[in-house]
Amino acid sequence: MKLTAKKTVALLLALTALAALCTGCSQIKDKLSKSKWDALRPYASYKLANYIELGDYSGITVDLYSENDTIPQSEVIKQAKAYFDNYKQQNYGQELMEVQEDKAKTKVAEGDAVLLDYDGTAEGVTVSEQTQTGLKGQAALVIGSNSFIPGFEAQVVGKEPKKEFTVSVTFPEDYSNELAGKPVTFKCTVQKIGTMVITDTSVSTLTSGQITTVNDFFAEVKTRLLEYRTGTLNPNLAFEAAFKNATIKEVPEREVEYYRERIKKMLESSEETFDAYLKEIGQTEDEWLQDSKDQISRELFCYAIAQKEKLTITADEKKTYIEQLRQNYTDLANLDDTALIETAFSDEGTLERNMMFTKVSEFIAGKAVASGKMPSQAEVAEAASEAEAESTPAGENSTAA
The Cα 19–Cα 85 span in angstroms is 12
Which DSSP category does 30 fall into? Answer: H
Helix (H, G, I), strand (E, B) or coil at 307: helix
Whole-number average pLDDT of the chain: 76
Element (H, E) at 236: helix 235-243
User: With 70 as the cut, is the pLDDT of residue 102 above it?
Assistant: yes
The Cα 322–Cα 361 span in angstroms is 19
**Among the listed ranges 17-21, 50-54, 268-272, which one has the minimum average pLDDT value?**
17-21
Average pLDDT over residues 37-66: 72
Query: Could you tell me the maximum CA-CA distance found in the chain, to the nearest angstrom?
Result: 67
What pairs with residue 196 in β-bridges? 99
Average pLDDT over residues 321-335: 85
In CATH, the number for domain 98-201 is: 3.10.50.40
Looking at residue 385, what is its pLDDT? 53
Contact 62, 241 (CB under 8 A): yes
Which DSSP category does 105 fall into? Answer: -
**Among the listed ranges 17-26, 90-99, 391-400, which one has the minimum average pLDDT value?**
17-26
Q: Say what the pTM is.
A: 0.52
The Cα 297–Cα 334 span in angstroms is 36
Domains of the chain, residue spans: 28-91+212-377, 98-201
The Cα 23–Cα 89 span in angstroms is 13
pLDDT in tens, 284-309: 888 888 988 998 999 999 999 998 99
Looking at residue 121, what is its pLDDT? 87
Looking at residue 372, what is its pLDDT? 56
Q: What angle do CA 188, 168, 191 make, to 5 degrees?
A: 15
Contact 25, 266 (CB under 8 A): yes
Question: Which DSSP string corresponds to 119-172?
Answer: EEE-TT--GGGHHHHTSEEEEEEETTS--SSTTTGGGTTTPPTT-EEEEEEE--
User: With 70 as the cut, is the pLDDT of residue 327 above it?
Assistant: yes
The Cα 306–Cα 265 span in angstroms is 29
The Cα 167–Cα 114 span in angstroms is 15
Do 28-91+212-377 and 98-201 agree at the fold level? Answer: no
Contact 397, 80 (CB under 8 A): no
Q: pLDDT-based confidence at 41, cuts 50/70/90?
A: very low
User: With 50 as the cut, is the pLDDT of residue 196 above it?
Assistant: yes
In CATH, the number for domain 28-91+212-377 is: 1.10.3120
More confidently predicted of 296 and 45 = 296
Average pLDDT over residues 31-41: 36
Which DSSP category does 154 fall into? Answer: G
Average pLDDT over residues 263-280: 75
pLDDT in tens, 336-350: 888 888 777 767 777
What phi and psi, each to the nearest 5 degrees, are found at residue 319? -60, -45
Instruction: With CA atoms as reference, report the closest residue to 42 among 375, 288, 313, 240.
Output: 313
Q: How many CA atoms lie within 13 A of 76 on its CB side?
A: 29
Q: At what angle do helices 285-309 and 348-367 cross, to 10 degrees?
A: 60
Region for residue 111 given its phi and psi (left: phi exceeds 0; alpha: psi -120 to 50; beta: otherwise): left
pLDDT in tens, 365-391: 888 877 654 444 455 455 445 544 444
Looking at residue 259, what is its pLDDT? 80
Looking at residue 70, what is its pLDDT? 62
Helix (H, G, I), strand (E, B) or coil at 119: strand
Q: pLDDT-based confidence at 191, cuts 50/70/90?
A: very high
More confidently predicted of 2 and 4 = 2
Looking at residue 308, what is its pLDDT? 92
pLDDT over 70 for what percent of the chain?
73
pLDDT in tens, 114-162: 999 999 888 877 666 666 667 888 989 889 888 888 899 999 999 999 9
Q: pLDDT-based confidence at 18, cuts 50/70/90?
A: very low
